[in-house]
Amino acid sequence: MHLFSNFERLKSCEFDRNPRVTQGAKLLSESQKLWGGRFTGATDAGFATYNRSFDFDRRLFDADVRGSLAHCEGLRAAGVLSDEDAATITRGLHAIRERASADSTFFNDQAAEDVHSFIEARLIETIGDAGRRLHTGRSRNDQVATALRLWLRDEIDHISESARAAERALLDVAEAHRAAVLPGYTHLQRAQPILWAHWCLAYFEMLARDRERLAEVRRRTNVMPLGSAALAGTSYPVDREGIARALQFEGVTRNSLDAVSDRDFCVEFAGAGSLIMAHLSRLAEDIIIYATTEFGFIELSDAVATGSSLMPQKKNPDAMELVRGKAGRVFGHTLGLLTTIKGLPLTYNKDMQEDKEAVFDVADTVRTSLDVTATVLRNMRLREERTRDAATRGYMNATELADYLARRGMPFREAHDAVGRIVLHAIGRGVELHELALNELRNFSPLIEEDVFDALSLERTLATKSQTGGTAPEQVTNALAAARASLDM
């Protein structure tokens, strides 16, 4: 996949948003309104532009057509539509769906208020009066909610696959450097040595939880509101459960008032996306730091780095900086959605139109950020000699020395204090703990014997962390195998 291939998907949704340029053209024609019988005056051009959502909700086109096809069959099965009208409407919906795929100018409609009125207008143009019967028994309120849930359900599946691809990239780069070690940090200070693969698995676990959360959001999204009509439910004897099965929903909403006003699933999705972006931002920060000259642990390939317009020597980690920066954008959408719904009375209010741009942008940003992160992981080189050298300096085996003394009977608090004094001595000498002579070490405790140097070795330091979840090579090997297996489930 090309690094920015998903951005091509966004280009098709771009429209002129300058009201001064387009407000005259955007006056909604009477024939395309889904309302208007009780109105005698024309809609103000400025308000029509402000009210219009077709620029962005046209992304729901295919989902809305799918919902309409199922609604049509539901009306036919209930005897509300004749077989002839239902067949005509079905053919018409398929026809405009095919035209949308084949005609690049199909959506160039400056008069459409929203995607729902657009579809109905095109349907009536295509099949005549039969198209006017499709809206029987439904409202834009349950229609919009159904289309948005259908669209988001599919998008969650795409994002989950992108997260899975990022997890695979983490495992690939971990397995490519199975024996590599690097310093583990707390407070961004060297703490204890770890395996590089253990570091990769930490981010794998974050993304695994993210996919679990997405699955939970999908389950609550995958409930059908169609049949709730405007707010009180439909008066026609349609089989809601049958329509839900046709659209592969897991069930139907239980309360019509809640169904048309519920946007919890949007907030949950944005929240799950926020956590994904938080995790990607942390990963980006690590990679950015590790790629600096000061650390020098990682080198990014030319495919995922940029240069400076002034300084010829620079190689900048722009891909990861963008991921880190876009996290705040997704967080903002989450807060924006919560703010939008916090004071809304039951049931539908036009405020809810604001949900779509937020949800669309969260989906686009999260998905492309996952894809870019996977690409970066596959286009970086770990400098193993540099990381190993860093993992053996800075007194990172001090805890091992304290544990050594504790195993020989010294209370850990005393051992901690003794090792602190040994570290201070080593700092004064300008050497590492394992470079001190045995007699120097014994000056601080007679419990120290010759075997202390084995205990202080990098290999032993790693191997002792052998409990489940630790960085011991055997544990990490098992964890890698389990992680790989989990991706195939």
What are the residue numbers of the active site? 187, 308
CB 404 within 8 A of CB 444: no
DSSP string, 302-338: GGG-B--SS-TT--B-HHHHHHHHHHHHHHHHHHHHH
DSSP for residue 189: E
- CA angle 148-149-150, nearest 5°? 90
Residue-level length of the chain: 489
User: What is the spatial distance between Cα 146 and Cα 193, in angstroms, rounded to a whole number?
Assistant: 52
DSSP string, 233-284: --SS---HHHHHHHTT-SEE-S-HHHHHH--HHHHHHHHHHHHHHHHHHHHH
Tokens for 320, please give them. 């990861």
Q: Which residue has the tokens 């809304």?
A: 344
DSSP string, 348-415: --GGGGGHHHHHHHHHHHHHHHHHHHHHHHTTEEE-HHHHHHHHTSSSTTHHHHHHHHHHTT--HHHH
